[in-house]
Homo-oligomer: A and B are copies of this chain.
Amino acid sequence: MTKQAAVEALQEFRSRIDAVDRSILLLLNERTRIVEEIGRVKQKAQMPIYEPKREDQVFDNVTRHNTGPLSTGAVRRIFERVIDEMRGVQRAQMEAKDGGSSC
């Protein structure tokens, strides 16, 4: 493979990655909006914010459905980050000192 051909192939792959990333971004924001809805429901119903079992369900869902090439560990670490950010969103929403369930 010539360097020129490689450069062109990389450009194409990176353009595809950028499109995938924008799709992931849309889904992350969609997820955040649902988390905000959950926060509102919990506030209205005066339900407890923190539900650790729900976080386990989130990890189960993604690791059970993972067919690779990402490893289970990688998937878990990425969703730990996602959940942590959602926790921050819900915490800000609740204006409470305790972190809310992020899922």
Q: How many residues of A contact B (CB 8 A)?
A: 57
Give CA–CA (A42, B77) in the complex, Å.
27
Q: Do A44 and B85 touch (CB < 8 A)?
A: no
Q: How many copies does the complex hold?
A: 2
User: A27 and B36 in contact (CB under 8 A), knowing A9-B41, A41-B13?
Assistant: no
Kindly name the residue among A2, A3, A33, A45 whose own CB sees the greatest number of chain B CB atoms within 10 A.
A45
Q: Note all chain B residues with C-beta closer than 8 A to A28.
A: 24, 70, 75, 78
Q: Note all chain B residues with C-beta closer than 8 A to A10.
A: 38, 41-42, 47
A interface with B by C-beta (< 8 Å) = 1-3, 5-6, 9-10, 13-14, 16-18, 20-25, 27-38, 41-42, 44-45, 47, 54, 57-58, 61-62, 65-70, 74-75, 77-79, 81-82, 85, 88-89, 103
